[in-house]
Structure 1
């Protein structure tokens, strides 16, 4: 396996855009969510990109796949938190749908990249 330059990976680039969108969203959450949902969403969104970059340093595709799997898990976790924001009326429908679509695209691209690295597929 050759090591990947994570900054050139489209999945990392799109995860970074999601981080930017996340911080815009969480800055508008109620103050009482400062140490709850806001903190969790920030950590989770950063985890998506961080696991991609950390995994890219590993010496085998099998090791990289483990980090990509963790990244994918964080993307699904973030989607759940986004749904909580919507259900609690912290965000409007239009923004919810935009961000939901964005995170689903990231999830799909991570999954497809994982499939391309998996020797068993």
Structure 2
């Protein structure tokens, strides 16, 4: 069992989730139950699955949860690209968030590679 709060990838993914919530506050009200909600759910899913996996009994289970977190990160990236293309996110915000996301994706992959399976 890992202490998820000490994992840098968890810390950075929590920061990312907070940033996406702040970003989506400016989305149009008609997007509240569609793209806004999907973005926020995907963003929260990343640190949640890292934490959930860290609390499991073995590395194989942890690796599985890290895979789910990686999948959520890809979903989030797709949603952010769509939001940018339809003009809901400006280029600077899009690049900043996707840059954070790319770093987190690499960290998840490295953590998966480091686990004994």
| TM-score for both structures, normalised by structure 1 | 0.94
Partners in 2 of 1:95 and 1:41 — Cα distance? 14
1:31 is matched with which residue: 25, 29, 32?
29
Task: Report Cα offsets for 1:8-38 as digits up to 9, x if no partner.
Answer: 0001000000011100111111111000001
Structure 1 stretches (4+) deviating beyond 3 angstroms?
A: none
Equivalent residues, number: 117
Partners in 1 of 2:23 and 2:40 — Cα distance? 10
SS of the residue corresponding to residue 91 of structure 1 reads coil
Partners in 2 of 1:10 and 1:74 — Cα distance? 18
Partners in 1 of 2:51 and 2:98 — Cα distance? 23
SS of the residue corresponding to residue 53 of structure 1 reads helix
Task: Report Cα offsets for 1:40-88 as digits up to 9, x if no partner.
Answer: 1111111000000010111110010000000000011000000011000
Partners in 2 of 1:51 and 1:92 — Cα distance? 29
2:95 is matched with which residue: 81, 94, 97?
97
Structure 2 gap ranges (5+): none
Is 1:65–1:118's contact at 8 Å kept on the other side of the alignment?
Answer: no
Question: CA RMSD for the aligned pairs?
Answer: 0.8
1:76 alignment partner in structure 2 = 74
Q: Does 1:46 align with 2:37?
A: no
Structure 1 gap ranges (5+): none
| TM-score for both structures, normalised by structure 2 | 0.97
Partners in 1 of 2:97 and 2:19 — Cα distance? 8
